[in-house]
Structure 1
Amino acid sequence: MRKIVIATRQSTLALTQAEQVMEHLRKLCAEHAIEAEFEIKKIVTRGDRILDVTLSKVGGKGLFVKEIEQALLDGEADIAVHCLKDMPFELPEGLVLGAIPEREDPRDCLIMRDGYGLDDLPQGAKVGTSSLRRSSQLQHARPDLQIEPVRGNIDSRLRKLETEGFDAIVLAVAGLNRLGLQDHISAYLEPELSLPAVGQGTLCMECRSDDEFVLNLLAKYSHEETAIVSEAERTFLGKLNGGCQVPIGAYAKLTGELDGQRRPRIELTGMVGSPDGKQILKDTVTGYDPELLGTSLAEILIGRGAAELLDAARE
């Protein structure tokens, strides 16, 4: 009987996600006569400890994963459950993404005190988000908005909507759905208005590259379509060397067409913006190779000035 330790952050959402993954893995073990038992290990990351500073000022991507990855490397855990949007493009040597399960709703949403959409927000409304990607796109659509940072778990952000005078806050739909809090949603922000973060709505399972038992188990959990679109989005991010410090978004979807090799056609949209939202570079490409597609889109936007925007945002 193999004991498998699943590492996760200790927020309510992270634990809920890890428990959902654990139940799926238990079912897979039962279906395939695999003998394994599971336990969850809670780990506090640097991103969990720093709550009074926006992520863009303290390191961005990797803040929520490094301590968990160290537990994998040290053999204290066997599987890590992450939100794919928190994952840097490059993984530490010895670790791999063993599974990418089916994606949840990738959209952003508004949770408002009054009204049911962006147009219902009054002139100069105070909107809470610590995401440069979200604030850039919202200010591009509504330059009058007063964007203020808001950190913490979902419950604390919902409380801050009432206690800190926000007219609205912006959250990911996927987290609200997983916690059963979708009734709080006032308006969905479609990708045309607010392009999601790379990998938003998608979980991933990280493990050691030499753990054949875990790799074989996780392979049964992975969702091929989600893995394809995730590769396109993450390649785009990697080519731009992007993180939470810069406003970058991407969203890939399959169109339903197949090429001669039975590969699905992918539509990938990406954006790079200035933090103030005054400049937004956005384009869409289609093709069948996710890596080539992500590279191509990054090069298109670089040719239109994305590198200069990213350098300015980092400074």
Structure 2
Amino acid sequence: MKLKIGTRGSNLALIQTRRVGDQIKTIKPEVEIELIIVKTSGDLRRKTKGSGIFAKEVNQAVLDGDADIGVHSLKDLPTRLPEGLSLVSIPERLTPNDVLITPNGARLSDLPSDSIIGTGSPRRRAEISHLRTDLKFKKIRGNVDTRIRKVESGDFDGLITSMAALERLGLEEKASQKFDFEEVVPAAGQGSLGVVGRKDDEKTSFLGEISDEKARLESICERAFLRELGLGCKAGAGVLARAKDNEIKTLAVLHDSEGRHLVKLRGSDPVELGEKATREVKE
């Protein structure tokens, strides 16, 4: 059986997709994997409304039958999928913390006033501003490798990215500082991979077998928070769920005109917990 996997063409996306392919081969060694490279609106820098600019075209390829499944960084995947698609597997989650990369290894507290930090994320900008009110922010383009080069060449004084991305690229040593979860609350799904497939497709029904149960529970909780919030990745909001021993601990943050609102909750039902975190962080 041949399985066509839709993916973006960046180095990180291909590493992630090949990782999923390897996991599939461990349980279905007879499957022949074919990668289908898809250029997304985000890659082409098109001006599009709404979230999912790095996922839309990959999902459409699955709907159209050009690919059987699509592999995404889960944080890039909208909480409401197109009709006919479902999230069929959460294969793994690496370190979800955000990190700072600087040219000389300086930590956030060491940076001079007016240092320029590269990030296009409202969440990261709001969280870093909470820690340092005297820094400047500028959008930074390109994949992770390109962004790091821009910092090392002096175009930026620092870059905020995820530790999971560095881990997958083998660049962990580039991190100057790993932020604690309460300092910088991650994006929903950060560090996790998400596999999308067509609903009720017998060909891909086995993919639940490669799902990581802990990552699956955490993603359900975090995506429930984001879905209830209704703001998508453009919001100054973050959430992290950690599942252990039949309990889920959740940390959520929201920035608004009144400041930074942080809540900590625990429970056992991931959807109820995520939705409760939304209600409390908005109070």
Q: Structure 2 length normalisation: TM-score?
A: 0.96
Q: CA deviation at 1:224?
A: 0.8
* Amino acid in the other structure paired with 2:253: M
The reply on whether 1:23 has 2:22 as its aligned counterpart is: yes
Query: Residue by residue, what CA displacement relative to the aligned partner does 1:259-308 show, whole Å, maximum 9, x if unpaired?
Result: xxxxx111111111149xx7111101110000100111111122x2xxxx
Query: In the TM superposition, what is the alpha-carbon distance from 1:231 to its structure 2 partner?
Result: 0.5
Aligned residue number for residue 272 of structure 1? 254
Deviations 1:16-51 (A, max 9, x none): 111111111112113xxxx42110000000011118
Query: Is structure 2 residue 164 aligned with structure 1 residue 174?
Result: yes
Which runs of structure 2 are paired with 1:78-157 in the superposition (5 Å)?
A: 78-157=68-147
1:227 counterpart = 2:207: no
Aligned to 1:313: none
**Stretches of 4+ aligned residues off by more than 4 angstroms:** none
* Aligned residue runs from structure 1 range 177-192, under 5 A: 177-192=167-182
Long gaps (5+) in structure 2: none
| CA distance in 1 between partners of 2:13 and 2:75 (Å) | 13
Q: Select the residue among 262, 266, 271 that pairs with 1:286.
A: 266
Q: How many residues align?
A: 283
- Contact 2:188–2:239 under 8 Å retained in 1: yes
Q: Provide the rounded CA distance (Å) in 2 between the counterparts of 1:100 and 1:166.
A: 34
Q: 2:23 aligns to what SS in structure 1? A: helix
Aligned residue number for residue 312 of structure 1 = none
State the superposition RMSD in angstroms.
Answer: 1.6
User: In the alignment, is the contact (CA less than 8 A) between 1:59 and 1:244 conserved in 2?
Assistant: no
Please state how far the C-alpha of 1:134 moved relative to its aligned partner: 0.4
Amino acid in the other structure paired with 2:268: Y
Conserved? CA contact 1:115–1:121, under 8 Å:
no
Letter in 1 for 2:218: V
Superposition TM-score, scaled by structure 1 size: 0.86
* Structure 1 position 47 matched with structure 2 position 42: yes
Deviation at 1:255, TM superposition (A): 4.2
Whole-Å Cα distance in 2 between the matches of residues 49 and 205 of structure 1?
A: 22
Contact 2:238 2:253 in 1 (8 A): yes
The residue that corresponds to 1:198 in the other structure is: 188
Q: Which amino acid aligns with 1:104?
A: L
Q: Match of 1:244, SS?
A: helix
Percent of pairs with identical residues = 39
Deviation string for 1:226-246 (max 9, x for gaps)?
100110100000000021221
- 1:59–1:245 CA contact under 8 A, matched in 2: no
For 1:253, the equivalent position in structure 2 comes to: 242
SS at match of 2:28: helix
AA in 1 matched with 2:277:
L
Computing the radius of gyration over CA atoms, which structure comes out larger, 1 or 2?
A: 1
In the alignment, the residues of structure 2 paired with residue 179 and residue 125 of structure 1 have an alpha-carbon distance, to the nearest angstrom, of: 26
Q: Is the 8 A contact 2:20 2:91 kept in 1?
A: no
Separation (CA, whole Å) in 1 of partners of 2:49 and 2:123: 15
Aligned partner (choices 209, 213, 218) of residue 203 of structure 2: 213
Quick check: 1:140–1:279 contact (8 Å CA) kept in 2? no
